[in-house]
A and B are shown apart, each in its own frame.
Chain A
Amino acid sequence: MKAVVIGPGRIGCGVAGQLLRASGHDVVFVGRDPRLMDHLNRVGRYRVRLARGRAERELEVGPVRAVCCTERAQVARELADAGLVVTAVGAPNLPLIAPLIASGLTLRREPLNVLAFENSPDAGARLARLVGPRVAARHGFAGAVVHRAVPHRLGDPRGSEPLLFIGDDPETVVVDARPLVRPLPEIQGVVCTGDYGAWMRRKLYLYSAGHATAAYLGHVKGYHYIHTAVRDPEIRATVLAAMAEAQAGLARRYGREVAGDRRDLEDILDRFANPALDDPVERVGRDPRRKLAADERLVGAALAALQAGVRPVNLELAVAAALCFRAPQDLSASELERDIRSTGRGAAIRDVCGLEPTDGLGRAVMEMWDRLLAASAGCLLLRLDHPLWAWRPDERAKAYA
């Protein structure tokens, strides 16, 4: 079978391409960077390093081909005779690839499954809408939850050495079975579920919430890497407790099987502590505005915990820390900072988190935020439960120069 993977990035190559090739399928990548497409065609392969701690294994993925998305006719032909399409472009970029997919699907008679490896609750349905109901009607657009983290791509596309993608070892990809229009071929790691929303939220409220908590508290305390931040006993305990709060919410909503148990949380925490991923706090924390939305990892998990009768104090702290996140390279963080300055903190909690700042969870977040306020002004907190501050190196330091 030939699979077309749209988005030869970290997830596209480090997960989709690797699992498809490991299952014996042909892989054609579609991307927008001509240099990268040229590289994949010239070299015909890449490497994936899967690491946990100091233990690692390296896989060669190939042969693979690539087509630049500017070659629209060629892309359409590749899609026309593909057995499967996978997207891994990042949910916000789906509108950019929808016309491309539509042009390929119009050439087909056979129904086709399109799997959106986007870790988004509605990526499949959204992509179907973007492609257009007339074209999409005969095809299956399904979301997929990817468990592996692939934070790095090393190598120079201008060179002839294979690129190297570095990730951790989980290979499970949970696919929404309901929209599929034909059985999926055998693909290593891919499992289908009729309860996609539940598994999506499990990933979002446990792994993503824990990851975000580690990043935002790591930022408040001044650490550079996630694996360092979770070695801090306070952060480690808070991350674990935040995931436990979210797990209580999941258990009430979806049952124990989906929510998992304490060992699952410790396993996730071990993944965060994996130094091989070298995951910077700034990378994991970026785009705080999106991550603070009411249905997202932190606020969504906190609301679920409240529904289960659990006061989510650790998630409240994580939300407050996210509101203090400052990263000069991150447009979303800068915009959020500007909005907070111009409209005030209460309005930010209302607009960004969808919470009422004078009531319930919103008020609790506001109180936590009061404790962390100096973190927004160039300070870093030395103890999460005690107002002891140091100074961080940032742009404000120049004001004192």
Chain B
Amino acid sequence: MLKKFADYLVFNLMSLKPETHLGEATNFFVYDTIKVFFLLSVIIFFVAIIRSYFPPEKTKRILSRKQQYIGNVFAALLGIVTPFCSCSAIPLFIGFVESGVPLGVTFSFLVSSPMINEVALVLLLGLFGWKIAFTYVGTGLVIAIISGIVIGKLKMEKYVQDYVYQVKVGDVEIVNQSFHEKIEYARDYMLGLLRKIWPYILVGIGIGGFIHGYVPSNFLVKYAGPGNPFAVPVAVLIGVPLYSNAAGTIPIVQALMGKGMPIGTVLAFMMAVTALSFPEAVILKNVLKMRLLLLFFGIVALAIVGVGYLFNAIL
């Protein structure tokens, strides 16, 4: 139905020709924009409601009773539903460590939480379909669990900034919101998020539409195809400075995939965008000594590159 509407709008009302570059690009832009904003509004609203049941204080309480391995699995899963913003990363980290959550388990959370975020999820579902969206979530969880276990095994506790262990965390009661308050919170959260990301999405879809209409298909096979062993690490390097801006990058990546960028490279790139970010590194420097910070980013980056190669090889 949406497709028909976009076709009608672009080809009839705007009288652009379907087989022209401009027609193709505009049609792509209109269709994707409507679809993405519709999905964003609905899904973010429901995700916000689910999240209101998992405040970080509760997640902390659950994780502080878990051992390694099972704790890593729980942490990665809870990372999806616990609201997280990099500005809260420090209190969250200290809160976890102080309450006895093992370091490796804490890191599983720190990997999965930004990587599997609602905006990325919506855009993946809307633009790539559920198969790729689920592959992304599944491999994201695996990376979070494994990175956490590895960091746990390496006994890095002494590379946490010393003051972290001295902080006394006060008790705060978890206030139970009424259902009405949850709805209100979800609505505000959705509107606030949309207000923040809509320009990036429009620009992203705009560039995507341009690529879709003007760049010859298979253009990227030569540069980013499975034949080029450097494509995956280069994609990861490009992804790091994009600051978790999934909103702007995912529509572009979707268009690139249509031009021959293979799925492994696509996944690796998106994971680098969401999970590895400079601002987050700067913030985490407050609680981690350099060695642990580098190790953390190194392990996650390696795992992401590994995922890229794996999917390029098997699909």
Q: Do A and B bind each other?
A: no
